[in-house]
Structure formats: C-alpha cells, structure tokens
A and B are shown apart, each in its own frame.
Chain A
C-alpha cells in the first residue's frame, strides 16, 4: 500500500535525484565541442547553403525574391541538407549495476547513466532524436526529451542482470548500449544480430568496477549476485582468481567478436577512470553524432 506521504517523499526523492543527474550530464556534455553536423549538400535544413538559378520545375515559392531583385535572373535559395538521426539508448538498470567496490568509486550504474545522458544531451543539441530502445520512449528531439530520459534512467530494474530490449527497433538508427555485460550473453547476441539485420549500428560500452577486473579475494567466501539470486561458495577464493580472469577475458573477447560481426563498436570503461574519457570515446564512436 502506498500512502500519500510515502508517495510524496518518493517523488521528492526522485525529483531531487533528477537535477543532479541532469546537472552532471549537462556539465559533462559541455566539455565536448559539437562538430559540424551539416550534410555538405543542398537539402532540407535550416542553414543557408547556396543560391542557384531557377530551373524548370522549381515551385514559385522557392524563389528568393530578395536575391533575384538584385540581378536579372531569378534565384532559388537552397538550404543545406540536414537530417536528423535517431539514436536509441539502452542503459542497464539492473541490480548488478548498483555495485561499487569502494566508497570513493561511483556505482557502475551511476557512471553508465552519466555517460548515456551526457551523450543524449550532446546528440539532442546536435539536433538528433534520442530515445530508449523498446517502446517506452521513442526517439524525439528537444530538451524535454532529456528530462524524460533522465526520468527513465532514474528507475532501477529489479532483475539481477540486465537484458537489452530488442523490440521495436527503428531501422537504420544508431544505438548505444551501456552495461557491465556480465549477465547471460544470449539475449545480447539476439539483440545485436536483430539490430544488424535492421541496419542499426551502434556502440557497446562495458562499464566495470576495478574489483571485477582484479578479483582480490581470499579465503572462504560466498559470492552473491547483487540481487541475491545467484550464489557461489568457495573455500579458497584466491584459487579462483586465474580462472575468473580467464572467463572475464573470454567474455570481453566474445563481446568484441560479436561487435565486429555486427558492425558495432565495443568499448570498455572502468569506474576509477574519468567519465569524460568514456564520453569522448562514445562520442567518437558515434561518428561525432553524425550518421
């Protein structure tokens, strides 16, 4: 049962969280200079591209009378062709992303949301349409979309490991998947192959905690997943280190190979590294926001 008070406090909590996320993402986005975005040819767009003499078939209303008045010919004002790209984001909201190994390090999920939202802000500033995978939030443009994204990012999912949504993918769009990709890899394979089928190219950013790379454990230990659904007991954790690291490398290789096969880009980010470097990499990987 939800009382009004509980609802309100939760709402306030959410509201308080949102600006922080937004502010962080805005700040992060401010560090990236937007490159040129035009298509370098005449087309639909806002920016002036060139004047050209009227050719047969041009509608009258296309004639730029001001320019034409200065000479004998009539001219048509052409605009630069600008297209908007749809970019779909998927940020793993599962419990596994809530992990952090030290108080000084952010949770993986926080870092993933920061990067994703900052990318979204940059894209929206560049005039692209940004949305979430699936049907929840279709790609739109405009600042309000950032707020909606932030709102969706603030909702945590219940399951232990995140599964990318691969329904209702817009063909020929771009995509950004951010997760630790430690969960079952089959769903991801499905999603990527499906995306590749539809001509969607994208970026896979794996966010890991340093502990997940180092495995500095000893002694008798029961390892539990963040949600508690999976557990593994060992009597000598240090013995497992080599095999764990081998499996992790195998997982990374698998992801890289999967990306290569589908034309995606695969990147890694560790939470002790700076957010900005990850954002820059994502931005580059997304062709500087271009198509």
Chain B
C-alpha cells in the first residue's frame, strides 16, 4: 500500500543520513491504544542537528521525541517514551485524539 511505502521511507532517509556521516536516531511507534494517529511501525528519524523526517503521531509529540532523541544520541542507550492524554504532561505533549502511544527511541550504530 501507499501507506506502507510512504510510511517507511524514513528508513531510506536514515540510511542516506548515515552514509553522509551523520549521527542518526530512529523512533518507532511500538504500541498504540485507542485512536492513535499513526499505527505501530511508524517512524521518525532524527539527526544530530535535530533535523527530522516522518511522524509518530501526526504532529502532537514529535517535538518531545526529537528532544529525547538528542539524549539517546549522546548516551547510546535506547529509551521507551509513553504519551497519552492521561499523562501529567498531557497539556504540553499530549495526544489530542485521546489515544495512547509508546515510542521506542534508539541510536543507529
């Protein structure tokens, strides 16, 4: 499906960024509850300068994921992030749709 090809083109971008000598982190939606905007398997790729491609939520939490990715890039330790309306920080980075998602962020290499 178009969905599958478009959705996962971030993987090609990540490889291209790596070849260009950049540090790259990849964030992946690994589970969803309720009406999450992007399905499990959706990616956001982030480089060391904070450039990013793709989406894990359709715009609601990308900013927070990019910030966390910077930590992951420097530490090399993967991180699991959770977002949802029930979250205390919901006002800042909540999902307006009422869904709940878990996002795994890891460094490539």
On whether the two chains bind one another, the answer is no
Hey, which bits of chain A sit against chain B, CB under 8 A? none
Which residues of B pack against A, CB within 8 Å?
none
